[in-house]
Chain A
Amino acid sequence: MEVIKIVGTDDTPSVTLDVANEIFEISGRSLPEDVAVFYEPILDWIDRYSEEATGKTIFNFKLVYFNTASSKMILDILLKLEEMHEAGKDVLVRWHYPEDDEDMEEAGEEYSDIVDVPFEQISYSLD
């Protein structure tokens, strides 16, 4: 599959979707002007990937900020990962949050309550 590699800006996240190197990651800030335009290619890619995935998929979210319009798109990604998990694929979500950011930690907890997929919360230090 083609590799998706988007370099982040101050309002859009960095995205790497790379099957050969087993990297599935969204990081940084997400408050794009048009969330649908930004996330549609990512959701399409995951749809196609979910058909052919064979190995383990570890999907990393390492966001420092996202607005509520993005939160719905993040849920859509997680729902696709849930479908893969339900279809018997080996999927793990890793939700990284800055150690002093309770809101981001809580966001991870809420997502893990909503979707049925193996989910790990990992705190990291910003220093």
Chain B
Amino acid sequence: MDGNKDFLEFVYSFNESMESKNVKLVYKGEITHQVTKAFTSITETNMMVEEEPNSVQKKVFHVIVEFLQNISKHADYMGDESHEEGSGVFLLCKDDENYVITTGNILMKQKEAAIGEVLDKINSLDKEGLKALYKQQIKEGRLSDKGGAGLGFIDIAKKTGNPLDYKFVPLNDEFSFFIISSTISRTQNFD
């Protein structure tokens, strides 16, 4: 039963790793509407118990909804059995100052440049710039066939007041793993 013992050791170190990074919630798999509802509901309940300010609760809720919707609509399928369509990884971390919400999903490399360009632009703008970009995008952007309006990242940056950290990790010639992270301050006055 050496294999089993290894596995139990893995579970222990997995738990230690999560604690060291303040991970409060983690999920890997297909992101459906039901999964999104489950996570928002758990997180809302926890935030209410901890008497988190309303504005923080709403921002955290919003980032979870937009990030997960993004995966369910845009994650690519690499065609192997270990990765389902519309699937990814989701982490919610919390320390004394911040909530940090991070997702990762498979993406076709050919989309990297466009996404990176949009995110760099968003990260370069101040609040007024983000408001202007949001207005332009909501007016001009058409709802895509998958239901996205191209507004999610802009709106997250606008509401959290923090840049979006991101990274593309190459998997092979065709695909990358796309990681994006948003920070919501628990203490900052958002004005």
Contacts and interface: CB of A to CB of B under 8 A. Distances in A.
B185 to A, nearest CB: 14
A67 B36 CA distance: 12
A100 to B, nearest CB: 6
A103 interface: yes
Given A11-B37, A103-B55, A114 B135 contact: yes
Contacts of A114: 135, 138-139
A33 interface: yes
B151 interface: yes
Interface stretch (B12-20, B95-103, B118-126, B140-148): B140-148
B51 to A, nearest CB: 14
Interface stretch (A16-24, A53-61, A69-77): A69-77
Contacts, number: 63
B65 A31 contact: yes
Size category of the B interface is: 20 to 34
B155 A69 contact: no
Interface string B50-70: 000011001101100110010
Nearest to B191: A102
A100 B55 contact: yes
A67 B62 contact: yes
Interface residues of A, number: 24
A72 B159 CA distance: 17
Pick the most buried of A10, A67, A75, A114: most chain B CB atoms within 10 A of its CB. A67
Nearest to B70: A68
A123 B147 CA distance: 30
Contacts of B66: 67-68
5 contacts: A10-B41, A36-B147, A65-B61, A69-B143, A72-B138
Interface of A: 10-11, 31, 33-36, 65, 67-69, 71-73, 75, 98, 100-103, 106, 110, 113-114
